[in-house]
Amino acid sequence: MSKRDLKKYVKELSKEQLEEQIIELYEKFSPVKVFYDFVFNPKENTLLLESKIKISNEYFPLKTSGRAKKPKMRRSVAQKYIKHFMVLGVDPFVIADLMLYNIEIAQTFSAGHAIKQDLFFKSMLNSFEQATQYLVANGILSDFKSRLKSIQNEAFEQKWKNESEFKTIVERLEY
């Protein structure tokens, strides 16, 4: 069904029928429930904090049964939250904060652990590039420039294999 057909169908429904369908969608489909729950009670700060905790847990997992769990370092966890925030229409400043936090927590982990997987560094570079593109696209680059520079400096300090690419991205933004 096209959007045009949907609009035509919705116009033909009475107010009561439309209300019934929305309630039915809310009850049947979890994404619809999540959307309406967010619309009527955004709590962006709570969502952000919960997301940051889950992302942190990827690098610094909580101990269970007295044993330390192995860090998973999955970029996909952060990407899932970032995409979810975008779908919900969360404020761009909150999304940008989460994007940069993902890289910063990975750098905090990297500072204390030797990482041998090249994929980790490539993944963090991809996250950095996506974050900068998002900041530019939303006109909020100036608000986050110092954090971008700090991330680039930390990549240099830790001697990341691709630190020159971080530097190139930051230099491009300065012109």
**106 touches 73 (CB < 8 A):** yes
**Which pTM value belongs to this model?**
0.82
Token representation of residue 120: 């980790």
Digit-coded pLDDT (tens) for 106-140: 999 999 999 999 999 999 999 999 999 999 999 99
Residue 64 scores a pLDDT above 70: no
C-alpha pair distances (Å), 38 with each of 25, 29, 44, 45, 66: 15, 15, 9, 12, 37
Domain extent listing, the chain: 1-41, 42-173
Report the pLDDT value the prediction gives residue 34, as an integer from 0 to 100. 83
List % helix, strand, coil for the chain (3-state, nearest 5). 75, 0, 20
Digit-coded pLDDT (tens) for 8-43: 999 999 999 999 999 999 999 988 888 888 888 888
What is the mean predicted confidence (pLDDT) over 61-82? Answer: 85
Tokens 């890289």 found at: 103
C-alpha pair distances (Å), 138 with each of 38, 84, 96, 144: 21, 17, 9, 12
